Amino acid sequence: MSRRVLVIGADGASPELIFAWANGGLLPAFRGLMEKGVRGRLTSTVPPHSGPAWISAITGKNPGKHGVFYFTTVNPRRAPPRIVSSRDIRTETMFDVAGRNGKRSIVVNVPITYPPWKINGVMVSGMFTPSKDVVFTSPPEVGPELVAKGYEVEFSTWDTWKENRRLVSKDEPPDELSRIRRDYFNGTLATDEKTVNAFIGLLQDKDWDLAMVMIPGLDRVQHFLWQPMAPGEAHPAAKEFGCSRFVIEAYQNVDRLVKKILSVVDSDVWVVFLSDHGFGPTPRIFYVNRWLRSQGLLTPAKQGSIYKRGLKKLRRFSQGIGGKPTDESVPAMHNLLPLSSIDMYLTKAYSPTPYGLVDVNVDTPEGRRVLAGSLANRFEEIVDARSGKRVIRRAYLSSEIYPGPCQEEASDLVLEPEPDYHVENRVDGTEAFADATTHPALHKPEGVLFVSGPQSREGLELQSAHIYDVAPTILTILGVPLPKDIDGKTLAMAFRPDGPIAMEETKRGETRAESKEISDRVKRLKDEGKF
Ligand SMILES: [Zn+2]
């Protein structure tokens, strides 16, 4: 029986859309995965952001253990914000664990894997690879071979980001808007195709036990093209979700890419498909910094010397990405709050990023703890006067969601909004709430997971799968022992109870119980002074 695992990630693939369209016959490859194995919703990290989520998926650990909380560092009390890189991942990934156990991996385009590091196999680094002129593969000689076959390193620049803003602009003439939206869609899909082709080439050329590719296009298309805005963007099957035909066609494209990848691997290989978070409309925006200002906890800076100093700093850390670094590039690309826009002496709490990360700016640890605790309660009581409904479902303290050696690098509070809300970090303006305009659809807290293979259960829907469970489940299929400090659990429900993997799991469970019993007994003897 094969214990090899093929992992296909798709950024932002939403369970609602996939299940509905697979059942409706529009996504035959996903329909096949559904029938052949198990599937379910996959709870993402808090916040459901690609940076922490993908790194949790490949480590099986919470961000407090792996050290990635966003696309940038988030705690300015420790260091000025900068884009994260693979050096920020402070723990082993499943590829390292597999490698230690003699298993070979192929890894293509997983975010934050630049610079690539040496694994037992091949790594092609993903999102935030600064340019095509750097070494983006390990071993290094693989890069030029891929480029010769048409591979393109995908990297974001400030210029492309600025261009993207036009995609949701109501000021563009309709024809021009149609054209740039169609071009963007085609360009995004073409890049995905090249990524998958490179992956397929490696699958065919190299020996592997674990292979993973991440396909980013769905996230981009949903961010910018969700809402039908130009003529011809409607689709009957997309109506129910209020999205454009671009969205449905992007899912169909991923379905086709999945089929294409599956066609080159043995039929008994295990297949894991996952996304880092879901997607959906967020009609209302909560401007957390404006709210903090209304509570007397945040004071904006007067434009001037502090502002200038801030710009200099930003220019320095924007050098890390491709394209012309400009005064606003890093903050604008990641909607980071330029710290120079608030008066740090008078501000007690502020949100540096979207997605509800909140820093408490108080000197003493005790003072920070007390203010964070009382703020958590106040956030959970906020009501949007228009709907009369609560806005923040949970305000988490970092100690609650990020236990681990990197917890101090996290924000003090993380807000999980109710489904209709997105938390933004603008400081200017006064209204704490507004209707969404430019970003009609955003990340949702549940991604999707499919697992199928020679011993998987068939047609079953998994309950309560968490993104931390992905790596341990994959390592279990590979037959590799799990790291002791892993947070996730093997999704035992995915396996047929009479198959060898399930039996091994049961045995391991018994061994764990036995060793616990022995250590308890030793402790008792010690307590009684007999040892
Ligand atoms: Zn994502």
Higher pLDDT, 282 or 156: 282
Is 117 a domain residue?
yes
Parallel, antiparallel, or unpaired for β 433-435 and 421-424?
unpaired
Tell me what pLDDT residue 128 has: 77
51 and 146 both lie in a single domain: yes
Is 23 a domain residue?
yes
* Distance of CA 218 from the midpoint of ligand 1 (Å): 9
Helices (H) and strands (E) in the chain, counts: 17, 20
Domain range holding 457? 5-61+92-280+443-478
pTM here?
0.91
Distance from C-alpha of 492 to C-alpha of 497, rounded to nearest angstrom: 9
Domain boundary at 386, 410, 439, which? 439
172 and 307 both lie in a single domain: no
Is 321 a domain residue?
yes
Whether residue 83 contacts residue 317, with contact meaning beta carbons closer than 8 Å, is answered with yes
Q: For ligand 1, a single-atom ion, which residues have Cβ within 5 Å?
A: 11-12, 50, 219, 276
- Hunting for tokens 């086709």 — which residue is that? 256
* Distance of CA 276 from the midpoint of ligand 1 (Å): 5
97 and 154 both lie in a single domain: yes
Tokens of 434: 């507004």
* Distance of CA 41 from the midpoint of ligand 1 (Å): 15
Is the pLDDT score of 421 beyond 80? yes
* Distance of CA 219 from the midpoint of ligand 1 (Å): 6
Distance from C-alpha of 181 to C-alpha of 170, rounded to nearest angstrom: 12
Tell me what pLDDT residue 155 has: 62
* Distance of CA 368 from the midpoint of ligand 1 (Å): 31
Whether residue 105 contacts residue 116, with contact meaning beta carbons closer than 8 Å, is answered with no
Is the pLDDT score of 230 beyond 90? no
pLDDT digits (tens, 9 = 90+) for 513-523: 777 777 777 77
Is 486 a domain residue?
no
pLDDT digits (tens, 9 = 90+) for 240-272: 899 999 999 999 999 999 999 999 999 999 999
What CA–CA distances, in Å, run from 42 to 470, 481, 498, 512? 9, 23, 25, 26
Is the pLDDT score of 236 beyond 80? yes
Of the candidates 333, 298, 306, the one whose C-alpha atom is nearest the C-alpha of residue 82 is 333
Tell me what pLDDT residue 338 has: 66
Structural domains of the chain, count: 2
160 and 275 both lie in a single domain: yes
Is 240 a domain residue?
yes
* Distance of CA 221 from the midpoint of ligand 1 (Å): 12
Higher pLDDT, 82 or 247: 247
Is the pLDDT score of 171 beyond 50? yes
Tell me what pLDDT residue 263 has: 98
Q: What is the overall mean pLDDT for the chain?
A: 88
Whether residue 68 contacts residue 448, with contact meaning beta carbons closer than 8 Å, is answered with no
Is 331 a domain residue?
yes
Parallel, antiparallel, or unpaired for β 278-281 and 441-444?
antiparallel
Is 166 a domain residue?
yes
167 and 301 both lie in a single domain: no
Return the CATH number at 301.
Answer: 3.30.1360
* Distance of CA 235 from the midpoint of ligand 1 (Å): 24
* Distance of CA 52 from the midpoint of ligand 1 (Å): 9
239 and 165 both lie in a single domain: yes
* Distance of CA 64 from the midpoint of ligand 1 (Å): 19
Helix H or strand E segment including 285:
strand 284-287
Distance from C-alpha of 284 to C-alpha of 422, rounded to nearest angstrom: 6
* Distance of CA 421 from the midpoint of ligand 1 (Å): 18
429 and 312 both lie in a single domain: yes
Higher pLDDT, 512 or 464: 464
308 and 454 both lie in a single domain: no
Is the pLDDT score of 305 beyond 50? no
347 and 243 both lie in a single domain: no
The pLDDT of 83-95, averaged and rounded, is 94
The pLDDT of 137-162, averaged and rounded, is 81
Tell me what pLDDT residue 340 has: 72
The pLDDT of 175-193, averaged and rounded, is 93
The pLDDT of 166-194, averaged and rounded, is 90
* Distance of CA 273 from the midpoint of ligand 1 (Å): 14
Is the pLDDT score of 219 beyond 80? yes
Distance from C-alpha of 431 to C-alpha of 150, rounded to nearest angstrom: 49
Residue 179's pLDDT band (cuts 50, 70, 90): very high
453 and 340 both lie in a single domain: no
237 and 336 both lie in a single domain: no
* Distance of CA 49 from the midpoint of ligand 1 (Å): 6
* Distance of CA 448 from the midpoint of ligand 1 (Å): 12
307 and 368 both lie in a single domain: yes
Return the CATH number at 135.
Answer: 3.40.720.10
Share of the chain above pLDDT 70, in %: 90
Is 68 a domain residue?
no
Distance from C-alpha of 449 to C-alpha of 324, rounded to nearest angstrom: 38
- What lies within 8 Å, CB to CB, of 366 at 6+ separation is none
